[in-house]
Structure 1
Amino acid sequence: MNPALSCFIGYRYWRARKSNAFASFITFFAVSGIFLGVAALIVVSSVMNGLEGQLKQRILGAIPQLTIHTAAPLSDWHQLETRLNALPGVKGVEPSIFTQAMVQSASNIQAVAVYGVFPETDKSLSPLAAHTFNEAFKLLKDSGYYVLLGNELAQRLSVVPGDKVRLLSGEGVVYSPFGPVPSQRTFTVAGVFEMGSQVDANVAYLHYSDARRLMRKTSADIEDLRVFLTDPFLAPELAQPVEQLLQDQGIDAKVSDWRDSYGHLFAAVKMEKNMMSLLLSLIIAVAAFNIVSALVMMVVDKTADVAVLKTQGLSPAAVMLVFISQGSMNALVGLILGLVVGVSATLYINPIMSAFGLHILGAGQQLPVMLDLGQLGLIAVGTVVLTLLATLYPAVRAAAVQPANALRYE
């Protein structure tokens, strides 16, 4: 068997003018289907990756990605910090505290999630400081009693930097003859931050010590550690090693991550991305079926040629390779065109949409795009495998041609 000879014959068949116009028509639509399917799959997958990446930055960058809550205050949290930083994927560790509270202004009251942080270390680990206006993040100091609000939350409360708000915490409740009295304290609005997500409407930040005092806890105690990760999606994988590390240190603690509060949102985004990829992959599958139809017609048209080739000594396997290579040529043309157009459209999708006056997210907003090379390779390999499988049936039929029967009336 000479594979080069079989591929050359298949190439000649592919280049030759088809005597069956209907077969040429089907071949054209098969190539077009692969081209459109691959291009659409690349563009849609890149946009969905961009959306997921934007949500990851805007939401998971502002909330704890992995949290350790100990049953008792840590005597030396720096020793645990050193061991945690040694784990792969850990970006940094800082003390933190969290509580649900109500924030009240002169005109409104809103529920809010309050995080106590150390601005000095949080600034280097979290993108929050970069999204805070007028460097208000620096005003969060011990005993300063400043609060940093999300932009949307500040608008709902009708407050601006310098205004006073009252925080009421459900933790630290005291009981009086008139019933339970929540812990409360007046804070000054240091400024606002804007992450461009739902975090802007329900999150507030205090200095760690001020948050502890609000909850009527000793400000020097550290019971919660906030672990920053290089990739927030590593949290499920790191939860087990962190728990094992805590057990080895004899620390009774509970480990939680961002999935407890925002897992449903990212699960929905992932499911939508997978469903869109599946639907667009069906376009490629339909195009592969068209390749089957076109090759079957080609086998019928070239039956006499196949019989002659077999009488000249071409083996059944070599005959199969002739038609496999011919079908692969169609797939290869569609794949290359789809990759070129898909990557180009992805890289320039926002200028292209602006040129046509299209604004999917509203005027002035651009589609987030993230081109994943690994995903491109998966699309290319999947397309090649699918089209190769589609060529097997026509190739087997061609290999089964009996020269005596085919040439009986020639």
Structure 2
Amino acid sequence: MFSSSAFLIGYRYWRARKANAFASFITLFAVSGIFLGVAALIVVSSVMNGLEGQLKTRILGAVPQVVVEKNDGFADWRQTADQLQATLPGIVGVSPSTGTQAMLQSSSNIGAVQLSGILPEVESALASRTTTVYSPAFDSLISGEYRIILGVQLASELDVAVGDTIRVLSGEGVVFSPLGPVPSQRKFIVSGLFQMGSQVDAQLAFIHYDDARRLMRKAPDKVDGLRLYLDDPFEAEATGKAVPQILAAEGDTLNVHDWRDGYGHLFGAVKMEKNMTSLMLSLIVAVAAFNIVSALVMMVVDKTTDVAVLMTQGLTRSAVMGIFVTQGSLNALLGLVLGLIAGLVLTLNLNPLLSALGIAVLGAGQPLPVIIAAEQLWLIVIGTVAITLLATLYPALRASRVEPASALRYE
């Protein structure tokens, strides 16, 4: 089909000035549609990737990505951590983990929070190798001092500042008295604040691991939960399934859960929105491909006599198809190349352009996060080429069915 002669003739038809002005207009419209569709896909996909990446950092960097709990505890948690890291390359760090749902009470307000117990020295050592949140204020957590670190939004809601005292009531460690169940509670001093710029600022608080165990009325020196830090938090499901096999633990003594339990719906909504946006923008390319069909059909009608003459000179039907497939593909490639260039230039200069226009999408001083994914660019290129190639097949097939005798009867 794509012989050198067919390509040269198709290229000549593509370069020649169109006799049919309406066909020329439709061709221009098709090329413009592909150009706009490809450019819009690149810009929007890159921004959505940036927003998803920002959510991954701000939320999944603060909450446990994978937690492994064992009912009878880990005899040597460091040995277990080394075993997991050596077996699963996606794990970049392991630290003891304990946590509970708690209520925080200040002098003016009360709020619910997810309370996490951490070892500051372990978190500090892992900070350079993981994407998890780490604040210098963590160093202020000292075992037995009962200090707590709050998110800035939570501190604002409780109307407390560094140095203030709040009461922490734990959902675990409840004791029963003649008056009914009494929750475990303790006064803590606010020793620091952290800010991730997401909803976890109002839902998360950190205390020392030993203090958390005491608050829940558990042995401070025992480790029955491990927090796994992953190179890619989106691999949490696969990692969680592999952990029980590596530790060879009984199903009733090992419990593995990950961030999807609390935030899976949020990232699922972001993924669906990204896919639906890409689908809608892809329709622009599809409409442009239909315009290529219209333009090529008009070209086939206009060149029927030329095709008949070429066929009498020995040009095969497959070569005739190649002529018009080449012509339509060149139109598509022109729009694709221009769209790629424009999309990449706009994406790389999106924030300066918005700043020059005085547009603040995320608020004053907050730039749009942008991540250009090479695999998405390839998908856009391959998808556009595939759609336009399919669009050229019908006009090309119609041209190949021209009967020279009938076409040249009145010439």
TM-score range, shorter chain: over 0.9
Return the letter of the residue paired with 1:46: S
**Matched residues in 1 for 2:294 and 2:133: separation?**
60
2:58 aligned partner, one-letter code? R
Deviations 1:47-89 (A, max 9, x none): 1000100000000000100000111121122221111102121
Alignment-mate amino acid for residue 115 of structure 2? V
Deviations 1:364-394 (A, max 9, x none): 1111111101100110010001000000000
Deviations 1:234-269 (A, max 9, x none): 101112111211326898201100000000000000
Report 1:347-362 matches (<5 A).
347-362=348-363
Give the whole-Å Cα distance in 2 for the aligned partners of 1:110 and 1:2. Answer: 70
Structure 2 equivalent of residue 81 of structure 1 = 81
Task: State the secondary structure of the residue aligned to 2:248.
Answer: helix
**C-alpha contact 1:246 1:252 (8 A) present in aligned 2:** no
User: Once structures 1 and 2 are overlaid, which stretch shifts more, 168-177 or 395-404?
Assistant: 168-177
Is the CA contact (8 Å cut-off) linking 1:128 and 1:195 kept in structure 2? no
In the aligned structure 2, how far is the partner of 1:127 from the partner of 1:312?
Answer: 69
In structure 2, C-alpha distance between the alignment counterparts of 1:56 and 1:267, rounded to whole Å: 12
Alignment partners' CA distance in 2, 1:274 and 1:2: 35
Partner Cα distance (2:241, 2:90) in 1: 13
Q: Which amino acid aligns with 1:174?
A: V
1:207-246: CA deviation from partner (whole Å, max 9, x where unpaired): 1101000101110111110000001001011121112113
Q: Is the 8 A contact 1:291 1:327 kept in 2?
A: yes
CA RMSD of aligned residues (A): 1.3
Q: Which runs of 5+ in 2 are unaligned?
A: none
1:282 lines up with 2:288 in the alignment:
no
Q: Describe the SS at the equivalent of 1:74.
A: coil
| Distance of aligned partners of 1:406 and 1:266 in 2 relative to their CA distance in 1, 3 Å threshold | same
With over 3 angstroms needed to count, the CA separation of the structure-2 counterparts of 1:248 and 1:254, relative to structure 1, is: closer
In the alignment, what sits opposite 1:64?
64
Rounded Cα–Cα distance in structure 1 between residues aligned with 2:132 and 2:149: 11
Query: What residue identity is the alignment partner of 2:54?
Result: Q
Distance 1:128 1:201 in 2: 17
In the alignment, is the contact (CA less than 8 A) between 2:150 and 2:190 conserved in 1?
yes
Task: State how far apart, in whole Å, the 1-side matches of 2:397 and 2:332 are.
Answer: 19
Which stretch of the first structure deviates more once superposed, 360-369 or 315-324? 360-369
Structure 1 residue 127 displacement after superposition: 4.7
Choose 297-306 or 117-126, whichever is displaced more. Answer: 117-126
The alpha-carbon distance between structure 1 residues 192 and 2, as it changes in their structure 2 partners (threshold 3 A), is closer
- Residue 31 of structure 2 aligns with an amino acid whose one-letter code is V
Structure-2 change in CA distance of 1:10 and 1:109 (3 Å): same
Match of residue 18 from structure 1:
18
* Letter of the 1:262 counterpart: Y
Code of the residue aligned with 2:360 in structure 1: it is H
2:202 matches 1:196: no
Cα distance in 2 for partners of 1:80, 1:47 equals 40
Greater mean alpha carbon deviation, residues 356-365 or residues 227-236: 356-365
Partner of 2:115: 114
Deviations 1:263-301 (A, max 9, x none): 000000000000000000000000000000000000000
Task: Note the C-alpha offset of 1:305.
Answer: 0.4
Q: % of aligned pairs identical?
A: 62
CA contact (8 A) 2:2 2:322 kept: no
Aligned-partner Cα distance in 1 for 2:140–2:362: 35
Given that 1:65 and 1:226 are in contact with CA atoms closer than 8 Å, whether structure 2 keeps it comes out as yes
| Corresponding residue of 2:154 | 153
Between the aligned partners of 1:325 and 1:385, the Cα distance in structure 2 is 13
Change (3 A) 1:250 1:153: closer
CA distance in 1 between counterparts of 2:140 and 2:238 reads 36
Moved more, 356-365 or 244-253: 244-253
Query: 1:129 touches 1:137 (CA, 8 Å); kept in 2?
Result: no
Listed as ranges, the gaps of 5+ residues in structure 1 are none
Deviation of 1:168 after TM superposition, in Å, equals: 0.4
1:3 matched residue in structure 2: 3
SS at 2:207's partner residue? Answer: strand
Alignment partners' CA distance in 2, 1:315 and 1:119: 77
Correspondence for 2:330: 329
Name the structure 1 match of 2:224: 223
TM-score relative to the length of structure 2 = 0.97
2:145, 2:228 → 1: CA distance?
A: 25
The Cα of 1:2 is off from its aligned counterpart by 7.0
**CA shift at 1:18, angstroms?**
0.5
Structure 1 CA distance, aligned partners of 2:91 and 2:131? 16
1:52 corresponds to which residue?
52
Distance (Å, rounded) in 2 between the aligned partners of 1:95 and 1:207: 11
* Cα 1:106/1:267, change in 2 over 3 Å: same
| Alignment TM-score, normalising by the size of structure 1 | 0.97
Give, as a single letter, the amino acid of the residue that structure 1 aligns with 2:328: G
Q: How do residues 369-384 of structure 1 correspond to structure 2 at under 5 angstroms? A: 369-384=370-385
CA separation of 1:379 and 1:160: change in aligned 2, threshold 3 A: same
Distance 1:179 1:249, change over 3 A: closer
- How many residues align? The count is 407
Larger mean Cα displacement after TM superposition, 393-402 or 119-128: 119-128
Kindly provide the amino acid, as one letter, of the partner of residue 22 in structure 1. Answer: F
